[in-house]
Amino acid sequence: MKKNRRCSNKFFYMVLIMMVIAVTFGQIAFAAPSTPLTDIKSQAGKAGPILCSDPSVKLVMNKVLVGSTAKITLTGTVCNAGLRDYVGTVPMDAFFMVITWHPPKTAAMESDLKVFSHNPIGNTLKKGECKTFTQVYTIPGVTKWGLTATTKTERQAIKEFTFGVDKKYPMQAGDTSFSKVENCKIDNDRASIAIEYMESPVKLPLGSGGFPDKGNLPKETHPDWLNPQPEPPIPK
């Protein structure tokens, strides 16, 4: 009788130990699920980072109104934000330009666009390297900042300044801009800031806006990225 009781006790303890082991392994399995096969396949096909250069720009503006003359100081910075050095077949050019219009007209209606500064960068720009350029632009006949109602002596005016980077200047017929290896992102090589002001047409000279004490700049006649030219015909 005692022998049968001892056997039954041993069997009970063995079953209890097996249940504890089974519960423990079940908890471990639920706590650390295995990676699905689909995830393994997707990770195996992932591409690494694209090794290309990325000329990007930033523009900072400071404006001062002294009397009826506005002095605009523009500071543009070009940086290579890519993962490799920029080594181009032709040098890069950093430029400043301005678009002027008078509401209710739009910029497209007036088509008053001027590139007023070109700054050579060179054929190379190392990864993480930056170059900074500064230009001063004056606006005569300004009465105040901001837009108010137009009167007989004041009218609304807006100027949008843009700093950008592109290939050499002047570009010749048939030249192309950056390749994908030279410029990873084409949406960060232009930066713009607009200012609104009131101006007095009576005080304006014939050519408003430009460099201080340098007169009017000559009109650009050579082709560039703003006025793309067709390739010359092949001689027969």
pLDDT, mean of each 10-residue run, the chain (236 residues) = 55 64 58 46 56 94 96 98 90 95 95 94 95 97 96 95 87 69 89 97 63 40 38 42
CA angle 208, 210, 213 (to 5 degrees): 105
Burial track 189-220 (b if 16+ CB lie within 10 A, e otherwise)? bbbeeebebbbeeeebeeebbbeeeeeeeeee
Give the pLDDT confidence score for residue 16 in this predicted structure. Answer: 65
Neighbours of 140 (CB within 10 A): 17
Instruction: Give me the pLDDT at residue 26, please.
Output: 58
**CB-based contact 162:151 (threshold 8 Å):** no
Q: Which of these, 162, 171, 151, lies nearest to 222 by C-alpha position?
A: 171
pLDDT value, residue 212 = 46
Measured CA to CA, the distance from residue 120 to residue 48 in angstroms comes to 33
Q: How far, in whole angstroms, is CA 74 from its chain's centroid?
A: 17
Q: Are 61 and 192 in contact (CB under 8 A)?
A: no
Q: How far is it, in rounded angstroms, from Cα 159 to Cα 114?
A: 11
Looking at residue 171, its pLDDT comes to 65
Q: Which residues on neighbouring strands pair with residue 100, listed in sequence order?
A: 112, 159
- In this structure, the chain runs to a length of 236
pTM as predicted: 0.67
pLDDT of residue 202: 73
Which residues on adjacent β-strands are paired with residue 61? 74
Whole-number Å distance between alpha carbons of 152 and 175? 48
- Distance from C-alpha of 204 to C-alpha of 112, rounded to nearest angstrom: 16
> What pLDDT score was predicted for residue 90?
83
Dihedrals phi, psi of 4, to nearest 5 degrees: -65, -35
Q: What is the largest CA-CA distance in the chain?
A: 125
Give the per-residue pLDDT at 51.
85
- pLDDT at residue 32, as a whole number: 47
Task: Name the DSSP letter for residue 221.
Answer: -
Secondary structure element (H or E) that encloses residue 216, with its range: none
In one-letter notation, the amino acid at residue 81 is A
> What is the pLDDT, as a whole number, of residue 173?
56
